[in-house]
Structure 1
Amino acid sequence: MTTWVPDIPAGKGPMYARLANRIADDIVTGALPVGAKLPPQRDLAYDLGITVGTVGRAYALVRERGLVSGEVGRGTYVLGSTPDKGLVEEPRPDLNRASAAIPADQNASNTASWTQAAATATDPGFAGTRIPVPAAGAIRLDSTSAPEIGQANAIRELTLRITADSPYEIASYTRIVPDSWRQAGREWLARSGWQPPEATIVPTTGAQAAIMAIIAATTNPGDRVVFEELTYSSIARGAALSGRQVVQVPRDDEGPLPDELDKVCAQKHPKILFVMPTMHNPTLGTMSEERRKAIVAVARQHNLWLIEDEVYGSLRETTLTPLAALAPERTFHVGSLSKSVTAGVRGGWVSSPLSHAQRVYTAHKMLTGGISFLLAELSSRLVLSGAAVDFRQKVLAEIAARYDLVRTYLPGYDLNAAADAPFFWLKLPAPWLAGNFKTAAAAAHVLIDDEDEFKPGRTGNVYHRVRIGISNPRTREETTQALGIIRQLLEDSGACYDSFE
Structure 2
Amino acid sequence: MWADLIRQVPGPRYRAIVQVISDAIRSGKLSARDQLPTHRELARQLDIDVGTASRAYTELRRRGLISGEVGRGTYVAETVRDAPSSISEAPSAGSFIDLSHNFPLNAPTSPLVARTIEELSRDCDIAGLMTHQVDLGHAHHREAGRAWLDFNGLSDADGEIAVTAGAQHGLLLAISALTRPGDRVMTEAFTYFGMKSVATMLGLELVAVDIDGEGVLPESFENACRTSGAKVLYCTPTLHNPTTALMSEGRREEIAEISRRYGVHIVEDDVYGFLLEPRLRPLCSHAPDLTFYVTSLSKCIGPGLRIGFLRFPASYREKVGLATRATTLMASPLTAEIAARMIETGFLHCIAADQSAMMKQRQSTAGLLLREYSMQRHPQSFHVWLEMVNGWSPREFSLEAERLGVGVAPGDLFAVSSATRSRAVRLCISAANDASQLNSALSLLSGLLEKPRKTGASRAA
2:112 aligned partner, one-letter code:
A
Where does the alignment leave 5 or more consecutive residues of structure 2 unmatched?
Answer: 1-83
Contact (CA 8 Å) 1:431, 1:496: kept in 2 or not? no
Contact (CA 8 Å) 2:190, 2:242: kept in 1 or not? yes
- Name the SS of the counterpart of 2:162 in structure 1: strand
Q: Aligned pair 1:158/2:116, yes or no?
A: yes
- Once residues 175 and 285 of structure 2 are traced to their aligned partners in structure 1, the CA distance between those partners, rounded to angstroms, is 20
2:404 aligned partner, one-letter code:
A
What TM-score, normalized to structure 1?
0.70
Corresponding residue number in structure 2 for 1:436: 396
Q: Aligned pair 1:190/2:147, yes or no?
A: no
- Once residues 247 and 237 of structure 2 are traced to their aligned partners in structure 1, the CA distance between those partners, rounded to angstroms, is 5
1:271 aligned partner, one-letter code:
K
- Name the SS of the counterpart of 1:168 in structure 2: helix
Corresponding residue number in structure 1 for 2:353: 393
1:472 aligned partner, one-letter code:
A
1:321 aligned partner, one-letter code:
R
Corresponding residue number in structure 2 for 1:359: 319
1:195 aligned partner, one-letter code:
S
- Name the SS of the counterpart of 1:301 in structure 2: helix
The residue correspondences of 1:5-404 to structure 2 (distance < 5 A) are: 136-137=93-94, 138-149=96-107, 151-164=109-122, 165-172=124-131, 174-175=133-134, 177-190=137-150, 194-196=154-156, 200-318=160-278, 320-404=280-364
Matched residue count: 374
Mark the CA change 1:450 to 1:387 in structure 2 (over 3 Å): closer, same or farther. Answer: same
Corresponding residue number in structure 2 for 1:44: none
Q: Which of 448, 455, 458 does residue 415 from structure 2 map onto? A: 455
Contact (CA 8 Å) 1:207, 1:336: kept in 2 or not? yes
- Once residues 325 and 242 of structure 2 are traced to their aligned partners in structure 1, the CA distance between those partners, rounded to angstroms, is 30
- Once residues 428 and 394 of structure 2 are traced to their aligned partners in structure 1, the CA distance between those partners, rounded to angstroms, is 15
Larger radius of gyration: 1
Mark the CA change 1:463 to 1:306 in structure 2 (over 3 Å): closer, same or farther. Answer: same
Corresponding residue number in structure 2 for 1:18: none
- Once residues 141 and 449 of structure 2 are traced to their aligned partners in structure 1, the CA distance between those partners, rounded to angstroms, is 47
- Name the SS of the counterpart of 2:431 in structure 1: coil
- Name the SS of the counterpart of 1:374 in structure 2: helix
Corresponding residue number in structure 1 for 2:56: none
- Name the SS of the counterpart of 1:203 in structure 2: strand
- Once residues 365 and 479 of structure 1 are traced to their aligned partners in structure 2, the CA distance between those partners, rounded to angstroms, is 42
- Once residues 138 and 190 of structure 2 are traced to their aligned partners in structure 1, the CA distance between those partners, rounded to angstroms, is 38
- Once residues 496 and 154 of structure 1 are traced to their aligned partners in structure 2, the CA distance between those partners, rounded to angstroms, is 51
TM-superposition CA deviations, 1:300-355 (whole Å, max 9, x none): 12211101111112211245332211111010111111223322212211111121
1:358 Cα deviation from its structure 2 partner: 4.4
Corresponding residue number in structure 2 for 1:446: 406
- Name the SS of the counterpart of 1:343 in structure 2: coil
Mark the CA change 1:369 to 1:429 in structure 2 (over 3 Å): closer, same or farther. Answer: same
Deviating more after overlay: 235-244 vs 448-457: 235-244
Corresponding residue number in structure 2 for 1:60: none
TM-superposition CA deviations, 1:422-458 (whole Å, max 9, x none): 1111112222111111111011111101110111232
1:482 aligned partner, one-letter code:
A
- Once residues 455 and 290 of structure 2 are traced to their aligned partners in structure 1, the CA distance between those partners, rounded to angstroms, is 47
Mark the CA change 1:383 to 1:394 in structure 2 (over 3 Å): closer, same or farther. Answer: same
Mark the CA change 1:312 to 1:496 in structure 2 (over 3 Å): closer, same or farther. Answer: farther
Where does the alignment leave 5 or more consecutive residues of structure 1 unmatched?
Answer: 1-116, 121-130
- Name the SS of the counterpart of 1:359 in structure 2: helix
TM-superposition CA deviations, 1:24-45 (whole Å, max 9, x none): xxxxxxxxxxxxxxxxxxxxxx
- Once residues 110 and 318 of structure 2 are traced to their aligned partners in structure 1, the CA distance between those partners, rounded to angstroms, is 33
Corresponding residue number in structure 2 for 1:88: none
Contact (CA 8 Å) 1:296, 1:326: kept in 2 or not? yes
Q: Aligned pair 1:427/2:384, yes or no?
A: no
**RMSD over aligned Cα, in angstroms?**
2.5
1:156 Cα deviation from its structure 2 partner: 2.7
- Name the SS of the counterpart of 1:401 in structure 2: helix
Corresponding residue number in structure 2 for 1:104: none
1:170 Cα deviation from its structure 2 partner: 4.8
Corresponding residue number in structure 1 for 2:433: 474
1:191 Cα deviation from its structure 2 partner: 5.9
1:259 Cα deviation from its structure 2 partner: 2.4
- Once residues 320 and 434 of structure 1 are traced to their aligned partners in structure 2, the CA distance between those partners, rounded to angstroms, is 32
- Name the SS of the counterpart of 1:329 in structure 2: coil
Identity of paired residues, percent?
A: 29
